[in-house]
Amino acid sequence: MSAPIVFSGIQPTGRKHLGNFIGAIRQYVEGQDRGEPAIFCIVDLHAISVAYDPVELRERLYDTTAILLAAGLDPERCILFRQSDVREHTELTWLLSAVTSHGDLNRMTQFKDKSAKQRELVSAALFFYPVLMASDVLAYRATEVPVGDDQRQHVELMREIARRFNERFGETLIVPEYRIPEVGARIMDLQEPERKMSTTGGTEAGTVLVLDEPGAIRKKFGSAVTDSGREVRRGDDKPGITNLIDIHAVARGIDPAEVEREFEGAGYGDFKPAVAESVIELLGPVRERYAELRPDQAALEAILAGGAEKARAIAAGTLAEVRGRMGFGPA
């Protein structure tokens, strides 16, 4: 077994929230700091599968790049690139479509959910989204894919595509593993603590953004929904307080039980501001660094170009082999 290679795709939205930060971004940085080889791809080609604005897309792509760098991704120690810069992804998508079952694509719950929400056009791109996602990972022969639970079905499908390719054309692709997100991945909406924090499905007041100013963060935690009790302890009957305890614990790097002990006897009125301050401490440095990085678009472009070059070097090798196996080009 060769060394693990981690691959993850990140949507190009500038509105990354606390759940994204704790459940994904921070873990990318920790993996990088452990010396894990990893590839991070900002998936602008996926973004066109629903209604979008080209000018906006480019802006949000820079926002996302700057957030990832501000959080600590280091282009010297990982590969960070823009999906559309590496043409191999689109080529491999078509090639893999030959070993992708139409029925499987039809069963994808994300496709069903998203297509139901489209007002004007349900694009073929939305239907093909999982094949492009499979190409992202398989082009690098990545072994691990850390993504949220909502993407598990897509990872299962890419495993199936890799297996079917190997069976049909000979051992070529690596069947990647789904990597279960660690604790802290389930950060809930502060207003509706039964649902996950989300910039698309959640409430505005209950969603803490990575780039929120301290004032906004204090306000959101101040109005967080709790319950009629007064004890700071975790429990199924206390989703709001449980969420706040978990957030405080990850922001401080301590155990939830320790938070319960620390706030024993204290009321919600003391606890909520404390959570806000720990989150401000967690996100503040990222926001400040972002403000330095974001205006220099040329520097961001240079980083993305460097990443694309490294990515292409790997993907081109896989594509050459895939093409050969499939009967393209000279014998």
Chain residues binding ligand TRP by CB under 6 A are 7-9, 11, 43, 46, 133, 136-137, 145, 147, 151
Question: To the nearest whole angstrom, how small is the minimum distance from the Cβ of residue 254 to ligand TRP?
Answer: 29
CA dihedral 185, 48, 75, 78 (to 10 degrees): 60
Strands (E), the chain: 6-10, 38-42, 79-82, 144-146, 177-179
Question: To the nearest whole angstrom, how small is the minimum distance from the Cβ of residue 300 to ligand TRP?
Answer: 20
Q: Closer CB to ligand TRP, residue 136 or residue 212?
A: 136
Q: What is the DSSP string of 204-245?
A: STT--BTT--HHHHHHHHHT----S-------TT-HHHHHHH
Q: Closer CB to ligand TRP, residue 126 or residue 145?
A: 145
Residue in this structure with the two tokens 């990893």, named with its chain if needed: 38
Round to the nearest angstrom and report the end-to-end CA distance of the chain. Answer: 30
Question: To the nearest whole angstrom, how small is the minimum distance from the Cβ of residue 38 to ligand TRP?
Answer: 11
Q: Closer CB to ligand TRP, residue 130 or residue 240?
A: 130
User: What is the rounded distance in angstroms from the CA atom of residue 209 to the CA atom of residue 89?
Assistant: 30
Tokens at residue 294, please?
A: 């974001």
Maximum Cα interatomic distance, the chain, rounded to a whole number of Å: 77
Return the bridge partners of 55, or none. none
Question: To the nearest whole angstrom, how small is the minimum distance from the Cβ of residue 96 to ligand TRP?
Answer: 13
Question: To the nearest whole angstrom, how small is the minimum distance from the Cβ of residue 147 to ligand TRP?
Answer: 5
Question: To the nearest whole angstrom, how small is the minimum distance from the Cβ of residue 132 to ligand TRP?
Answer: 7
What residue number has its CB nearest to ligand TRP?
A: 9
205 burial via Cβ count (<10 Å: 0-12, 13-18, 19+)? middle
Question: To the nearest whole angstrom, how small is the minimum distance from the Cβ of residue 137 to ligand TRP?
Answer: 5
Q: What residue type is assigned to position 128 of the chain?
A: F
Q: Closer CB to ligand TRP, residue 12 or residue 239?
A: 12
Return the bridge partners of 58, or none. none
Q: Closer CB to ligand TRP, residue 133 or residue 293?
A: 133
Q: Closer CB to ligand TRP, residue 166 or residue 198?
A: 198
Angle between helices 88-97 and 297-326 (to 10 degrees): 30
User: What is the rounded distance in angstroms from the CA atom of residue 80 to the CA atom of residue 87?
Assistant: 16
Q: Closer CB to ligand TRP, residue 148 or residue 317?
A: 148
Q: Closer CB to ligand TRP, residue 134 or residue 275?
A: 134
Question: To the nearest whole angstrom, how small is the minimum distance from the Cβ of residue 223 to ligand TRP?
Answer: 29
